[in-house]
Chains A and B, each alone.
Chain A
């Protein structure tokens, strides 16, 4: 008997590591050489068919990587079943950023959240600054899924999302989670004036 499961997935990571490109490859199997920065967050869906007659529909929030949006991230990961934290293998600093996202997820997100660490731009291995060993070791220590991908060539993209789909619980009904999320999300609602305090970037120290 076939069944369809539905999960919420959030993409996090520093700006320009290729989050939107990764999603575009996954959802449309396309790649643009030049992409403008994401503003706010983009919502996409994609369905993955697993071997055993099961399909998994991902509801994806592709978030903007800029610092000023950082304080909005909890809105997206709070109800997420899985998170893909992306870094750029040619930028060592982007792995540091990924680590800080993972720490935040481990502290603040639902404890059952499935986290995948994803080293993108694998096609640029010649300019690699992050070794596979280093990232893999870190992922193992933290109990994360890990893969390198290239949104440009498509390498590893479908595989990582499928691996996540397989790792997500097939027994607990995701619709039950869906029911729970409304309450949780409603709590995040704030009146307009109070929301100013939640403004993006507000908690960020001036790093200039």
Chain B
């Protein structure tokens, strides 16, 4: 949800936002510096040649951007994990002083961040992280039989003229999980026409259940990075942390539903912690488990986002925007500490929406250690 100037059309802003992200993904493959040089030499340079083999990255990015609210809110999305487990994992991933030039050590599961260990002087820009996450989930990496991959990658927001290297290791792959995607069989939904429903459902981004350790290094010494990552992953295994995480994922403790909040009429929400630059949200459940419904909700969230961002200067303390449609009412609320987007039953009065928003904010703040990555170690 790029901030959209008032008056500009929504679809134009959306296209612009998509193009900006696509540009970042292209830069991750060939760097801004190289791109500049190419076009300096030849204005009509055909970029496709240089990008050959990287097309799947562009395609997956465009799908991702449609659905990933962390991308559109320029935030990190963390996996819900018990704070002690998150801390123990982070401690196991702090690089020893012997290994040089490590930029980030990131553990990702279900395409969300569990922890991110970084040097004191560098934080990570959310869009760099999203480009990395998109890259490591490319089929040629995620579905590969390789023990690990070593990828030269340019993180445009970190340094658009340099390449760093990402060592990527899947500690658990999607296929190794028990089959559980099948529980909502198409046949079991009585009213839905099976063909339309299945054709719609097949496009819904599937949650991937992998666990991936990624070490981004400024050094080209992959043997050093590899041996450190091997040690770190051994430590995660030996200390039982990998198993604890894997079990939590299998028991679905890493996700939550609006029912966990017990707020009448609440159907979905997105909460962005502004100081942490992180979002959290429950699963998309009925009716938003349907692709069309979900797309509609996301579009509504985007309208709210535009409204509360275009109007508010950064210093303002409270902005609200409320929209009611036939199907739901939605409200966006921005304060100094958070942005909140909620979707409710359209039958509720506006005052109930405000109460619900307050209740969501209270719940998130109470759960914040589970939902957000805070105090991750720096080195």
Contacts and interface: CB of A to CB of B under 8 A. Distances in A.
Given A72-B152, A181-B223, A191-B101, A36 B138 contact: yes
Given A41-B151, A185-B221, A195-B164, 8 more contacts: A20-B140, A36-B56, A36-B138, A39-B54, A67-B49, A68-B29, A192-B101, A199-B31
Interface in B24-75: 29-31, 33-34, 38, 41-42, 45-46, 49-50, 52-54, 56-57
Contacts of A40: 149-153, 166
A201 B52 contact: no
Given A24-B145, A198-B163, A198-B220, A41 B150 contact: yes
A67 B150 CA distance: 17
Given A62-B146, A193-B159, A185 B223 contact: yes
A161 B221 CA distance: 26
Contacts of B159: 192-193, 196
Contacts of A196: 31, 33, 159, 161-163
A106 interface: no
B147 A201 contact: no
Nearest to B138: A39
Contacts of A182: 223-224
A94 interface: no
A190 B147 CA distance: 25
A38 interface: yes
Contacts of B56: 36-37
Interface string A5-22: 000000000010000100
Q: Is the interface of A mostly helix, strand, loop or mixed?
A: mixed
A45 B146 CA distance: 8
Contacts of A20: 140, 144
B162 A42 contact: no
B337 interface: no
Q: Is the interface of B mostly helix, strand, loop or mixed?
A: mixed
Given A39-B53, A191-B218, A206-B41, A186 B149 contact: no
Contacts of A125: none
Contacts of A41: 149-151
B151 A39 contact: yes
A192 B162 contact: yes
A19 B34 CA distance: 27
A43 B163 contact: no
Interface stretch (A27-35, A111-119, A148-156, A168-176): A27-35
Contact of B224 (A62, A64, A185, A202): A185
Nearest to B33: A196
Contact of A190 (B30, B46, B54, B219): B219
A190 B220 contact: yes
A192 B145 contact: no
A188 interface: yes
A90 interface: no
Q: Which 6 A-B pairs have the closest CB atoms?
A: A37-B53, A40-B151, A42-B146, A36-B140, A192-B218, A189-B219
B139 interface: yes
B6 interface: no
